């Protein structure tokens, strides 16, 4: 049989104080649902009023009873799941930055090895994490301008410019006459 959670009068006061201090509308909906449950309303009623599924209302009551008010009020979603802080990353990249400024070619593989050694684990399945680190610190990939392998020589290009069609020549002459 399912466990029935009871919300005491002290807990109701705690919920009301938290609701007065609160400024987040999602947290307010959760606290309101808990207060309605303390009044004796059913999960279906509370769900209709607060726009929750009845099962979610039951889960809220269970979470509050087992883990307390902080489980309902606080944000449990963290950000910045990086392995190092910005300053630590900057310190790690400093020798590579000095090498790049002195004219040496810096390869990502060497930076990745140093990063893996610093964090103590492999970045094998991270889908380009090292590139995100480099982008965060203002690095960019510099490549030479691409050149087609079958490109004609400069002499061929110049000679083909001289061999223009008469219709194209007339257009060029007309164009020059119009603007003179």
Q: Could you give the 3-state DSSP secondary structure of residue 42?
A: coil
pLDDT of residue 72: 92
**Are 93 and 137 spatial neighbours (Cβ–Cβ below 8 Å)?**
yes
169, pLDDT greater than 70 = no
Angle of helix 86-101 relative to helix 129-136, nearest 10 degrees, comes to 80
> What does the pLDDT look like over 104-157, one tens digit per residue?
889 999 999 999 999 998 888 878 889 999 999 998 887 777 777 788 888 887
Contacts of 112 (CB under 8 A, 6+ apart): 123, 130
What distance, in Å, lies between the first and last C-alpha atoms of the chain? Answer: 98
| Residue carrying the six token digits 């959670």 | 5
For range 59-88, the mean pLDDT: 86
CA distance 51 to 121: 44
Break the chain down into helix, strand, coil percent, rounded to 5. 65, 0, 35
pLDDT of residue 163: 65
CA distance 69 to 17: 11
CA distance 50 to 72: 15
> What does the pLDDT look like over 4-25, one tens digit per residue?
888 899 999 999 999 999 999 9
- CA distances 170 to 23, 52, 79, 161, 176, Å, are 76, 77, 66, 15, 10
The DSSP 8-state label assigned to residue 51 in this structure reads T
37, pLDDT greater than 90 = yes
8 backbone φψ class: left, alpha, beta (φ>0; ψ -120 to 50): beta
Q: What is the pTM of this model?
A: 0.47
Domain range summary for the chain, segments of one domain joined by +: 9-73, 86-136
> What does the pLDDT look like over 77-113, one tens digit per residue?
766 667 888 999 999 999 999 999 998 889 999 999 9
């Amino acid at each position: 049989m399912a466990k029935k959670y009871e919300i005491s009068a002290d807990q109701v006061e705690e919920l009301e104080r938290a609701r007065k201090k609160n400024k987040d509308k999602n947290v307010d909906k959760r606290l309101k649902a808990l207060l309605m449950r303390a009044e004796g309303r059913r999960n279906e009623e509370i769900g209709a009023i607060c726009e929750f599924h009845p099962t979610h209302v039951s889960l809220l009551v269970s979470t509050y009873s087992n883990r307390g008010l902080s489980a309902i009020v606080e944000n449990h979603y963290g950000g910045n799941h990086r392995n190092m802080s910005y300053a630590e990353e900057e310190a790690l990249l400093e020798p590579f930055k000095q090498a790049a400024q002195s004219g040496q070619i810096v390869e990502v593989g060497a930076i990745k090895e140093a990063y893996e050694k610093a964090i103590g684990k492999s970045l094998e399945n991270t889908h380009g994490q090292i590139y995100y680190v480099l982008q965060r610190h203002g690095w960019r990939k510099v490549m030479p301008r691409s050149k087609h392998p079958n490109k004609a020589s400069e002499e061929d290009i110049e000679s083909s410019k001289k061999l223009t069609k008469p219709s194209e020549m007339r257009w060029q002459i007309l164009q020059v006459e119009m603007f003179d």
